[in-house]
Structure 1
Amino acid sequence: MLTAINQIDTISLFQQIQWVADPVGYMETAARKYPDIFTSQIIGFGNAIVFLNEPQAIQQMLTNDRKQFSAPGELNGILKPILGDASVMMLDGDLHKKRRQLVMPAFHGSRMQNYGQLIFEVTTKVFNNLYANKTINSSFLVRNAMQDISLQIILQAVFGLYEGDRCQQLKRLMSQMTELFNSPFTSAALFFPSLQKDLGAWSPWGNFVRQKQQIDQLIYAEIAERHANPEPSRTDILTMLLSASHEDGNGMTDAEVHDELLALLLAGHETTATAMSWALYWIHSLPDVKEKLLKELKNVTDPMDWMSIFRLPYLTAVCNETLRIHPVAMLTFPRVVVEPVELLGHKLESNTIVIGCIYLLHHREELYPDAEQFKPERFLDRQFSPYEFMPFGGGVRRCVGEALAQFEMKIVLATILLNYDLELSDRKPVKPQRRGVTLAPAGGIKMTLK
């Protein structure tokens, strides 16, 4: 017998406020009452949305794309003020598939080894600057340093820009813009359109609008320069997008290229910076983990053999456990029921919005015993399916930059651990909090460079 889906009975406005202010508390409270599936009234997706965190249900949702469930880009509208509406995140159907196929090669294969040297050099430069600026024995925010590293790397991958005035301007403006949404309070404007009012440069949304305009101008200037001086031999993503063409032979418009670049820049550095920050926090919180990791890293014959470092089992387990206990993305991209479907003994009607809850999935006790504890060994002891461990989402909207993010994370951690001596400035537990549409460490994690 099919039953109705349990629905959180708190009034809608209160749910919306709690979802923005304390998403972890909101999800955990709901899951204690309704462990596998529940209906929520959170803002940003419509009137109601069904949360799933049971692996088989998530598999059914993700492996029946376009049959039982579709994945319309328009449901990601909360990101439109930042990303525009022409990037791979916002596209649908065949256009989404083709754009994805165009972008994917930039993050796979032989390019990884080339990125290895870049990642090492950028990491070394950032930490040497900390030394030069007399950060020794005084606290610095780890997440700021990680964002500096990841932003430089993604600028190189996307634009081929490593130095120069335009690169530095983009780096500065991108950092400033992402900091505008660094807390639940400042992130609220993304969820409540009534707060998206340009009341001048000193208003929060007005400040965002002006910074976004400056970033847009820099990106369009770079596109125009590449049109005027084409270099087909270049391997950055911008060159690939400019040389691409649709079935009718026409290339992408400048607006389409712009939106794609902006999406890759933002998604490609914010999330990775957060993941690397959490990893450093746990490694330096647990001496046994750090000791095992250093022992494994020091046994690598050639410290510049990036692929050997990438394949290290314990380093991989530490990164996976970091992404499990603190998934940067709380949710999969939403799906819509195409035709009435049965899910976990419940009937879902057409047009119902369904979403996979990555955070709750990663904290299921039957999958991950002692789920609140950091235990890398769990990834050495068993293999988890793509529907049990999914820090990069799944299905047709799985993160295109997954391979680069994992590679970057491992090479950055290895470089820091082998060359610099860090310790936590404060032993108090660090909690996750909302940062835009993601979860990040509250306070940025203070560490000392010894």
Structure 2
Amino acid sequence: MARAVGSERFAMLRAVASTFDSDGYLRRRARAADPFTVPIPRLGDVLFTGSADGVRDILTAPATELSAPTPNPIEPLVGSGSLILLSGDRHRRERQLLMPSFHGERMRNYAGVMAKAARDEMNGWKPGDRISMREAAQEITLQIIIRTVFGVDDADRRAEYTRVITGMMSAYIAPLMFMPELRRSVGGLGPWARFVRLRTEFDDLLTEQIAQRRATGVDGYDDVLSLLLSATYEDGTSLSDDDLRQELRTLLVAGHETTATSLAWALYHIHREPQVRERLLVELGEVTELEQLSKLPYLSAVLQETLRMHPTVSVVLRRLNAPLTIRGVERKPGDVVGIAVPALHFNEDRWPDPDRFDPERFLERKATPFDYTPFGGGHRRCVGASFANYELAIVVATIMGGADLVMPDDERRKRTPRSVPRGIAALPDREIVLQVR
């Protein structure tokens, strides 16, 4: 069996050190040799690639030959029956059931809710205020999920969801994610006990919402919960309450912090680059309907470039069910392989001057599924990718049209933040702050 060119004697130490700058680490390793191996606890020596050819080798493999790698650190959050963790025929069936909720007319129905969530957040902004854009974005994206996914409109009820979800997500700290031996409580105390209590509270809220919607029927509702309640598998069966809770938790985890981080990064670059901001405002000034926003070429290019430079997930992993060769390196069944997304998105052969924020590159040439993977790819591409892109377009446009924001001089003098792993997503290593003018 061929040896990965990029393997190295002290890879484990380097891998641990990389948690402080995982994107930079993956880029450096790919530049030195591609593919390369990184030892990951409980997964073994993972073979990574940051080249389009290598990504093609992975993503074009038959669905039956790839599965979700286990163990997965987010399982306590989403549940073992989550789409993210399923493989094979069950994954295919679940994916087919979920996909219609995030496409076409159903998705466009959410535009008004998305814009209102942004306006509600901006209502508290006053001239001179310095706004943490990631905190603001987290509030906006959470309210969008509570309304469009869970179908909760009552203000008091939304406040209860906000309290429980915020607490649950903050309680699931990195040590609990990556060190299962810490997932225990002592006399009902400790981080794990707090997380389990809040997760139970969240499940209770979801159980009540599911029961209420089953009792009243789904007619007249277009939230994702109602769509899932009315959906059936090919054999006519439907999701159980437990299945519903797990998929609703999955949609929260996949669409909250990730989208909020992308939103904060987009606003950072828009306000750091005056020419980008001015061109975007001109394009937005020609829009009369919310539904038009997702089709604007320059806004789309700005968002694509944001996701290129700041993918919220740094690695895409697959466990092999059959032998696979990646750029001449053979791997056997049971091995885990991965896409090093930052290395792929900063590959100079495809992206000239990759450290420069340049939306024009997406106007000049369309990205391929093998050189641009902000939502993964292949048979396991994120089912909510279209929803996330639509949400980003609506919210960015609403903020640009409703608030006059500037980047303060002291913020402009600081270095560009780095993406670092923080729990579920890769986050900026410092606050992104804009000021209301």
Which whole-Å CA distance do the structure 2 matches of 1:27 and 1:353 have between them?
16
1:85 aligns with 2:80: yes
Which whole-Å CA distance do the structure 2 matches of 1:57 and 1:201 have between them?
47
1:48 corresponds to which of 14, 25, 45: 45
| 1:211-290 alignment runs, 5 A limit | 211-246=198-233, 249-290=236-277
2:29 corresponding residue in structure 1: 30
Q: Which amino acid in 2 is paired with 1:436? A: G
Q: Which amino acid in 1 is paired with 2:402? A: N
What is the count of residue pairs matched by the alignment?
433
1:310 corresponding residue in structure 2: 294
1:65 corresponds to which of 21, 43, 62: 62
* 1:200 shift after superposition: 5.9
1:96-115 deviation digits (Å, cap 9, x = unpaired): 11211111111111123321
Q: CA 1:442 to 1:320, structure 2 compared with 1: closer, same or farther past 3 Å? A: same
2:165 corresponding residue in structure 1: 174
Normalised by the length of structure 1, the TM-score is 0.90
Q: Which amino acid in 1 is paired with 2:348? A: E
1:368 corresponding residue in structure 2: 351
2:278 corresponds to which of 272, 291, 295: 291
1:112 corresponding residue in structure 2: 107
Q: Cα RMSD between the aligned structures?
A: 2.1
* 1:41 shift after superposition: 0.3
Which whole-Å CA distance do the structure 1 matches of 2:187 and 2:354 have between them?
46
Which whole-Å CA distance do the structure 1 matches of 2:147 and 2:225 have between them?
10
1:223-255 deviation digits (Å, cap 9, x = unpaired): 222233333442222123223344554432211
Q: CA 1:345 to 1:247, structure 2 compared with 1: closer, same or farther past 3 Å? A: closer
Q: Which amino acid in 1 is paired with 2:46? A: I
SS in 1 for 2:168: helix
Unaligned runs of 5+ in 1: none
Q: CA 1:247 to 1:3, structure 2 compared with 1: closer, same or farther past 3 Å? A: closer
2:375 corresponding residue in structure 1: 392
Tell me the percent identity.
Answer: 35
SS in 2 for 1:299: coil
- Residue pair 2:21, 2:419 contacting (<8 A) in 1 also: no
* 1:262 shift after superposition: 0.6
2:135 corresponds to which of 127, 133, 144: 144
Which whole-Å CA distance do the structure 2 matches of 1:87 and 1:251 have between them?
15
1:392-435 deviation digits (Å, cap 9, x = unpaired): 11011111111111111111111111221112241212221212
Q: Which amino acid in 1 is paired with 2:314? A: M
Q: Which amino acid in 1 is paired with 2:208? A: A
Which whole-Å CA distance do the structure 2 matches of 1:340 and 1:175 have between them?
42
1:274-309 deviation digits (Å, cap 9, x = unpaired): 101000000111111111111111133x1xx12322
Which whole-Å CA distance do the structure 1 matches of 2:315 and 2:132 have between them?
27
SS in 1 for 2:427: strand
Unaligned runs of 5+ in 2: none
1:326 corresponding residue in structure 2: 310
Normalised by the length of structure 2, the TM-score is 0.93
Q: CA 1:237 to 1:365, structure 2 compared with 1: closer, same or farther past 3 Å? A: same
Q: CA 1:201 to 1:424, structure 2 compared with 1: closer, same or farther past 3 Å? A: farther
1:21-75 deviation digits (Å, cap 9, x = unpaired): 43224313322322x21111023x51221111111221121121335x312x353
Stretches of 4+ moved more than 6 A in 1? none
1:316-366 deviation digits (Å, cap 9, x = unpaired): 11100000000111122x223333333212222222211112111001011
1:6 corresponding residue in structure 2: 5
